[in-house]
Amino acid sequence: MKDTNYELRAWMGANKVSGRKLAEMMGRSYETIRIKLSGRTEWTLPEIEKLLEVTGMSFEELFFTHIHNKMA
């Protein structure tokens, strides 16, 4: 799961969004987001939909760009 968070963490860094800020933007607790970012639990479909909304990224950009680049 950690690879799927690569693009999200890159977006967070580029946009100066902390884990706490992301939790606020998503309407979730910081603890929930921290656990998701650590890779200990997977994102749920509603959380993925909210991530796409708050980041403005497509599903492919958010979850497949880094994996695709590693395979190329």
Task: Say how many domains are in the chain.
Answer: 1
**Structural domain that includes position 49:** 2-71
Predicted confidence (pLDDT) per residue in 26-49, tens digit: 999 999 999 999 989 999 999 999
Quote the pLDDT of residue 63. 83
CATH code, domain with 36: 1.10.260.40
**Is pTM, for the whole model, over 0.85?**
no
Residues in CB range of 4: below 8 A, 6 or more apart: 43, 62, 63, 67
